[in-house]
Amino acid sequence: MCGIMGYVGPRPAVNVLVGGLRRLEYRGYDSAGIALGTTDGIHLVKRAGPLRVLSEELEQNPPPPAAIGIGHTRWTTHGGVSDRNAHPHLDCREQIAVVHNGIIENASELRLELESRGHELRSETDSELVAHLLEEVEGDLLHRLQVVAKRCEGAYALLAFDLAEGLHMCAVRRTSPIAIGFNEAEVFVASGAIALAPWLERCIYLDDGEIADLRPGRADVFRLADLAPIEKAFHEISVSGDLPDAGRHRHFYMKELYEQPSAWRSVMQGRLDDSGNVDLADTGLTHEALRAVQRLLFLAMGSSLHASQMAVERLQQFAQIPAEAILASEFRDTRTFLEPGTLAVAVSQSGETIDTLAALRHARDLGATVLGLVNAPSSTIARESDFVFDLRAGTEISVASTKAFTTQAVALELLVSALAAAHGRVDTTGRLAALRAAPAIAEDFLMEFRLPEDLIARCAAAPGVIFLGRGQDLSLAREGSLKLKELSYIWSEAFAAGELKHGPLALVDSRVPVIVCATDQKHAPKLRNSLAEASARGAYGVSVGADLHATIHLGLPMHDSLAAYLLGALPLQLLAVSVAEARGCSIDQPRNLAKSVTVE
Ligand code: M6R
């Protein structure tokens, strides 16, 4: 989603802004812009399209030198994709510049008010309103932004400067993330620490309801409500300062897909010993903490939800602990109480997904203890959790998740085993031996595996693709379907195999591939029947895992249910990218999607 970047200091601000925005590109956006504070006023350049378009414009027409500036990549919410709607936005006098991430929910009322008072609004965005509201308030920028932020309802982050105040800018956070770093002569602001990494080793994160006063060499943080000062802790910026690079791969999606075996090793490192014992001490989950868990509630979206659904299956089977996985966006509206002893597990690659964060807060308010399972240990979800399980999968750039999804499945299996052991349930040692062996076998599999060309061509030409599964394979079917639709824009849907005859079978004809996930051998007989029913209606049948006598069978080199699940994800991920490439789709940044979903 939108990326914010700000800089005050002696370097040419334009270089820092464009450099930072480039590192935020992976979040997904559709236009970009910068505003520089110069001696001749605010120099504004905004372009619809990729950041490349803005950079080329800046190369052809170099902007005047500036020691202060803000930049933005916009993911459209209010108003179409255009130069005009791109950020930053200015007030009527062109003295104040603002960038914004999030949604201002009372924008219509504010717009009417501002227009009735004679403001000239130049865009259709909610964001521009902030610049005009700031224009109307008296006092220094910090006080003015405090007043304006209190008038704006919704979830957002704002960054602004006023030419009249020199080398000074202010940022405020209500839900959308803001990271700030500084050294003796400079101050940097961004939507994520990844954008600060080339220049800084540590940063602070604004929490909700905080406002920051930023000048070269300092960042003073206050409570938005009353401007009471707040001491902030510094966090190490653990990502490299080099621009992320897909290396020998065609794109980040493929790079990350191939990184899966090493990500699985990394999440197991120090947590699973050779005898199969699991130790989650680094997460804070001691034996006593695990013993106290009476039920689990997984809160997540997208691929993270699918990994959670897999964990629910495993928990019921191996730990006999009640568990459910809920779409985080539905949780707040549907739950008013939780059972005592509930551990809410917020599963999120980014650790910033707003729906998951809001669900976590609601679960905490209802009395749950919270475990954050994230790939970003300094993220908001991690900071607001009682326990933090760091996924250690390495930065995931591609919007469509690969390594984070399967590594979540590994991490959750460790959690299942730790809970089973703490509650004196089954001996899980044998199963975990297969888990330890999975990375090496997956590496060989990835080297040798080739998808049949006919399968790729059939899917690329299909009006729709159906995925089926049972038990753990239903979550894998959902993940396969999500990958295919995200990357190739082909309509697809996953169903529980038992549901087929109750309606979805009407969709099946000879043009519709039916892909059956069968990584858990115990469901093979019933899945074979489902596939036979679809094939009898002309479907092009595909099986992944157990041999179901399909037209195309994608066999796997491991039969242990968890290891097969992890390996089974690989052909589905490869199928999605192969079909997308055959259709000429953008792989790392699919249309309309964002990596980190920070608006509801
Ligand atoms: O960062 P999160 O894991 O919280 O993100 C959740 C979903 O937005 C994410 O999994 C999304 O569905 C991916 N694009 C899936 O490939």
pLDDT at 79 over 80: no
Portion of the chain with pLDDT greater than 90, in percent: 85
Dihedral angle sign, alpha carbons of residues 272, 290, 569, 260: negative
Q: Which range is least confidently modeled, 69-83, 150-164, 332-346, 562-576?
A: 69-83
The runs of H, that is alpha helices, within 97-201 are 107-116, 128-136, 141-151
DSSP code at position 305: H
Position 216 scores a pLDDT of 96
- 2 catalytic? Reply is yes
Position 7 scores a pLDDT of 98
Distances (CA, A) of 362 to 330, 334, 338, 370: 11, 11, 10, 11
Position 241 scores a pLDDT of 72
φ/ψ of 71, rounded to 5, equals -140, 165
Strand 540-545 with 96-104, pairing: unpaired
The CA 348 to ligand 1 mean position distance, Å, reads 7
Tokens of 527: 């899945």
pLDDT at 559 over 80: yes
Ligand 1 proximity of 302 Cβ (cutoff 6 Å):
yes
pTM for the whole thing? 0.90
Position 283 scores a pLDDT of 97
SS3 at position 427:
coil
Q: Residue 475: which of 307, 285, 253 has the closest Cα? A: 307
The CA 154 to ligand 1 mean position distance, Å, reads 22
Position 429 scores a pLDDT of 60
Domains in the chain with CATH codes: 3-236 (3.60.20.10), 252-448 (3.40.50.10490), 453-582 (3.40.50.10490)
Q: Residue 313: which of 543, 523, 516 has the closest Cα? A: 523
pLDDT tens digits for range 437-493: 999 999 999 999 999 999 999 999 999 999 999 999 999 999 999 999 999 999 999
pLDDT tens digits for range 109-158: 999 999 999 999 999 999 999 999 999 999 999 999 999 999 999 889 99
Strand 31-38 with 202-205, pairing: unpaired
The CA 188 to ligand 1 mean position distance, Å, reads 28
Longest Cα–Cα distance in the chain: 76
Query: Taking a C-beta distance cutoff of 8 angstroms, is the pair 543, 516 a contact?
Result: yes
Q: Which residues contact 428 (CB under 8 A, 6 or more apart)?
A: 276, 278, 318, 416, 417, 420, 421
SS3 at position 116:
helix
What value does the mean pLDDT take over residues 14-21? 96
How far, in Å, CA of 19 to CA of 198, rounded? 9
Average pLDDT, the chain: 94
- 203 catalytic? Reply is no
Residue nearest to atom 8 of ligand 1 (CA): 302
pLDDT band at 30 (very low <50, low <70, confident <90, very high): confident
pLDDT tens digits for range 186-208: 999 999 999 999 999 999 999 99
pLDDT tens digits for range 151-191: 999 889 999 999 999 999 999 999 889 999 999 999 999 99
Query: Taking a C-beta distance cutoff of 8 angstroms, is the pair 48, 81 a contact?
Result: yes
pLDDT band at 427 (very low <50, low <70, confident <90, very high): low
pLDDT tens digits for range 288-329: 999 999 999 999 999 999 999 999 999 988 889 999 999 999
Q: Residue 464: which of 482, 484, 486, 490 has the closest Cα? A: 490
Q: Which helix (H) or strand (E) holds 357?
A: helix 354-365
Position 599 scores a pLDDT of 74
